[in-house]
Amino acid sequence: METKIWKISEVNGVIKEVLEGALSSFWIEAEIGTMTVHRSGHVYMVLKDDMSQIKAVIWKGSRLAESLKLATGSKIEAFGAVSVYEPRGEYQFTIKEVRLLGVGDLQKKFEEIKKKLQLEGLFDSARKKKLPLLPRRIGVVTSPTGAAIQDFLNIIRRRFPNIHIQIYPAAVQGVGAEKEIIKGIKFFNKSQTPPDVIVLTRGGGSMEDLWPFNDELLAREIASSSIPTISAVGHEVDFTICDFVSDLRVPTPSAAAELVIAKQDELSEKIGNLYSRLRSVIALVMERARRQLERLSGSYVFKDPLRLIYERTQIIDEFKTKLAHSVAMRLEKESSNFEKLKAKLQTLNPTNVLNRGYAILQEEATGRIVDSPNLEAGTSVIGRLANGYLNMKVLSGQIIEDKKDGK
């Protein structure tokens, strides 16, 4: 039987087929021993534990590595599969997903705390306090040896060198750091000369480094502070619970310094502009008042003050004359109407008929007007004349026929 002579490429191909077919994708825990980000965007690294190491690659993973701040010494959890690089006869771990070791639990806890405090209203904008335009004192809770406070102080000195800065030294990383930060906030709130604003600051770091600023008790202390607070923790991509509960969140310590106090020359220019506008407004008001005074001083009211009184007296006299004339006209009209009614009543007066020789007959017993001869003989009748009465008795009565009507 002839012995088969293998080529290297064939050996590597078989190894590739066997190895990649035997292992499916899985999670591994490791520490980054070395890491190189190629200009192509691929990330090459060596992963290790206490006993062994393995090469690994993240295809097009430069942005992912940057967002996670991956570096030599980072402890990670990676999901992927073993692959063989045939040209070199090397095998490597191809990473499809990666996360910082323990970040999964921390992220879950972060979301739980965030949701709880948000439901309680600690993040509501309505409860946030307004920052002073130009604070006289600024309280800073941070590590006095960190780079963050140096950046902060440098900008403050350039912008407004005479502002009073008080630093409360506190750990900003590690176990118990949140308790020191809480003490700093309480210190400033109980101070006899409290600052106008409190700044919590530190530089960037991993989620574990920034974890003290996600503490629930610290968040509640910030919310209960009577002094406005600014959170300037980490870099622009970093977010902590303190950012959400503080009255203002800025991306960096430098930004906090720039925001908490305006430039001296900018304020001076603003005050100068306001002063100029005020002078212009006052000058305009004074000019209007002067013109109005000149117009009024030329009025006859000032030259002859009694003239206005005389004019009003003349108006009253004319009104009295018109009123008297109207009253006289009304009286004359009513008097004429009265005479007409009087004449009409005299015409209708039945006693006027008696003056022409007529008489009005009434039954003596009843006083009823006699308008018909149908009376019994002997009935007493009174005849009313123009100048007296006649007592009469009926002898007989007779109806006179109206020959015209045939009666």
Model confidence at 44, pLDDT cuts 50, 70, 90, reads very high
Model confidence at 203, pLDDT cuts 50, 70, 90, reads confident
CA distance 56 to 187: 50
Model confidence at 264, pLDDT cuts 50, 70, 90, reads low
* Residue/partner pairs of 348-355 with CB below 8 Å, 24 or more apart: 351/386, 354/384, 354/385, 354/386, 355/386
8 Å CB contact between 81 and 59 = no
Instruction: Tell me the mean pLDDT in the region 63-69.
Output: 87
Beta-bridged to residue 166, according to DSSP, are 139
Question: In Å, what is the CA distance from 192 to each residue of 83, 180, 195?
Answer: 67, 20, 10
Which of 322, 299, 198 lies closest to 248, judged by CA? 198
284-314: burial string, b at 16+ Cβ within 10 Å, e else: eeeeeeeeeeeeeeeeeeeeeeeeeeeeeee
H and E: helices and strands count for the chain: 13, 13
pLDDT tens per residue across span 14-42: 777 777 667 788 899 999 889 999 989 99
Q: Would you say residue 407 has pLDDT above 50?
A: no
Q: Would you say residue 347 has pLDDT above 80?
A: no
Alpha-carbon Rg for the chain, nearest whole angstrom, is 59
pLDDT number for residue 242: 93
Beta-bridged to residue 277, according to DSSP, are none
Helix (H) or strand (E) holding 31: strand 26-37
Instruction: Tell me the mean pLDDT in the region 332-359.
Output: 82
Q: Would you say residue 352 has pLDDT above 80?
A: no
- Please provide the DSSP assignment of 57-92 as one string: EETT-HHHHHHTT--TT-EEEEEEEEEEETTTTEEE
SS3 101: coil
Which of 231, 252, 256 lies closest to 128, judged by CA? 231
List the single range of 8-17, 22-31, 123-132 with lowest mean pLDDT: 8-17
Instruction: Tell me the mean pLDDT in the region 293-309.
Output: 71
Query: What is the residue-averaged pLDDT of the chain?
Result: 84
Model confidence at 406, pLDDT cuts 50, 70, 90, reads very low
Q: Would you say residue 371 has pLDDT above 90?
A: no
